[in-house]
Amino acid sequence: MLDVQTLRNDIHNVASKLRERRGFTLDVNAFVSLESARKTVQSDTEHLQAQRNAISKEIGHAKKNGDDQKASDLMAQVSEFAGRLKSNEDTLSELQSKMRDLLSGIPNMPNDSVPIGKSEEDNVEVRKVGVPRSYDFEPQDHVDIGEKLGMLDFERATKITGSRFSIMMGEMACLHRAIAQYMLDTHTRRHGYTEIYTPYLVNADSLFGTGQLPKFEEDLFAIPLTDEQKFYLIPTAEVPVTNIYRGEILNGDDLPTKFVCHTPCFRSEAGSYGRDTRGMIRQHQFDKVELVQFSHPDHSYDQLEALTGHAESILVDLDIPFRTVTLCTGDMGFSSTKTYDIEVWLPGQNAYREISSCSNFEAFQARRMQTRFRVGQGKTEFVHTLNGSGLAVGRTLIAVLENYQRQDGSVEIPQVLKGYMGGVEVIEPH
């Protein structure tokens, strides 16, 4: 959520920036008329409330003094405007909720350092690490590798549930687990994150806090509880982890606070019917190790660089080539002010594919969640929130399979994962 104050003071500037950078049309007239109505109604309402409070106090005095005549006179005075007060209060809360709806649908404002563009074509590469190795055979993709090993099964997963699910078996399931373990250990031991375990089902308030609701409900899996209430399967650990401090005021001396969390993620993938239908690239369920930080506003961009580096270090350790790009304004997520995507090299696709997305949200989520901090006796201020995948586990598995494949169909285990594989150095077909 953007700061209402900024919109009040500078609506035209905000609108033109949003149009230019987001292609988002802010309804200036709607805002201005809503705001001016709010102003009038709020001022009237509060005036009447003050009047009522003052008279009520007097009634209290009168009753205490046994002056019943005066008390009933005063009550009559209140009843003269009681109806007007009530209808004013109703109108005000209606206007306020309209304003909230309007505000919560406005995307975040990209940072000035973000390249302006329309689509992923306009993203800017900031670095490329490692060189794709050359193979003296035709490299296969992870589907062929996995199925030939007899350890990857899409058909049975489809039978059990439906499309876009998969089953891993034996050493591949173990490798998947090893990757997640390795990531958790690295981020906790080397990068100073606190490991955290959270619910996989969350309520609507949490999803509002991080910005998935109200606009992106169709991307989520929902579980109805009652007519009123439902839970949602988390689309990313970002949601439960970022919301742990919803409605809280943190001690500024504790910032930055850094969490790492390994969870399954569930996405309905509505609107991507034709895309990545082969293999494990785009599933309804996948594991991810997520990095989340709560930062002082002065340091959040430094923290974004650091966090992105933490994610990248996993691929450096695995010795798998990748490149990092700055997403252009048109390709960024709704809540973000700046995002780096890390794209891993996949020989089977002969392409770099997204494996991590690292973003700064500044105060956008904090404002929705009411997460603030205070230094000493100072004023409260919204924290900045950041997060990034460190990394997507399933896609990392794909990258290992494809980058470490051999001509005979076996797959070598990367050096740093060997300790997690119980002595297995190479995955061989059965």
Partner RNA sequence: GGAAGCGUGGCAGAGCGGUUGAAUGCACCGGUCUUGAAAACCGGCAAGGGCGUGAGUCCUUCGUGAGUUCGAAUCUCACCGCUUCCGCCA
Closest CA relative to residue 114, chosen from 390, 272, 332: 332
- Of 102 and 129, which has the nearer Cβ to RNA? 102
Angle at 197 between CA 191 and CA 202, to 5 degrees: 125
Q: Which is nearer to RNA, 45 or 403 (CB)?
A: 45
Q: Is 217 a catalytic residue?
A: no
Catalytic member of 282, 353, 374, 406: 282
| Other CB atoms within 10 A of residue 13 CB | 11
Residues 302, 305, 308, 312: what is their CA dihedral angle, to the nearest 10 degrees? -130
Tokens representing 65 are 């003094």
Q: Which helix (H) or strand (E) holds 240?
A: helix 238-242
In 73-208, the DSSP E strands lie at 124-129, 152-153, 167-168, 194-195, 201-202
DSSP string covering 129-168: ES-PPP-SS-PPPHHHHHHHHT-EESHHHHHHT-SS--EE
- In this complex, which beta carbon is closest to RNA, that of residue 41 or of residue 392? 41
User: Segment 129-148, which members bind RNA (CB under 7 A)?
Assistant: none
Greatest Cα-to-Cα distance within the chain, rounded to the nearest angstrom: 103
Q: Any catalytic annotation for residue 8?
A: no
At 382, list the tokens. 């919204």
Which region among 26-34, 72-80, 238-246, 275-283 touches RNA (by CB under 7 A)? 72-80
Q: Which is nearer to RNA, 54 or 426 (CB)?
A: 54
Whats the size of the chain, residue-wise? 430
Which CB sits closer to RNA, 53 or 350?
53
Q: Is 296 in the site for RNA (CB under 7 A)?
A: no
Using an 8 Å Cβ cutoff, are 395 and 315 in contact?
no
Q: How far is the CB of 297 from RNA (least distance, A)?
A: 14
69 binds RNA, rule: CB under 7 A: no
Q: Is 377 in the site for RNA (CB under 7 A)?
A: yes
Reply yes or no on whether 290 is catalytic.
Answer: no
Does position 375 bind RNA by CB under 7 A?
no
Size of residue set near RNA by CB under 7 A: 37
Active site residue 127: no
395 is catalytic: yes
Name the active-site residue from 267, 367, 368, 372.
267
- Of the listed pieces 50-58, 97-105, 179-187, 388-396, which binds RNA according to CB under 7 A? 50-58
Assess 277 for contact with RNA (CB under 7 A): no
CB of 90 to RNA, least distance (A): 9
171 vs 412: CA distance, rounded Å: 12
> Catalytic residues, which ones?
267, 282, 354, 357, 395
Residues contributing to the site for RNA (CB under 7 A):
4-5, 39, 42-43, 45-47, 49-50, 52-57, 59-61, 63-64, 71, 75, 78-79, 82, 93, 226, 228-229, 249, 372, 374, 376-377, 379-380
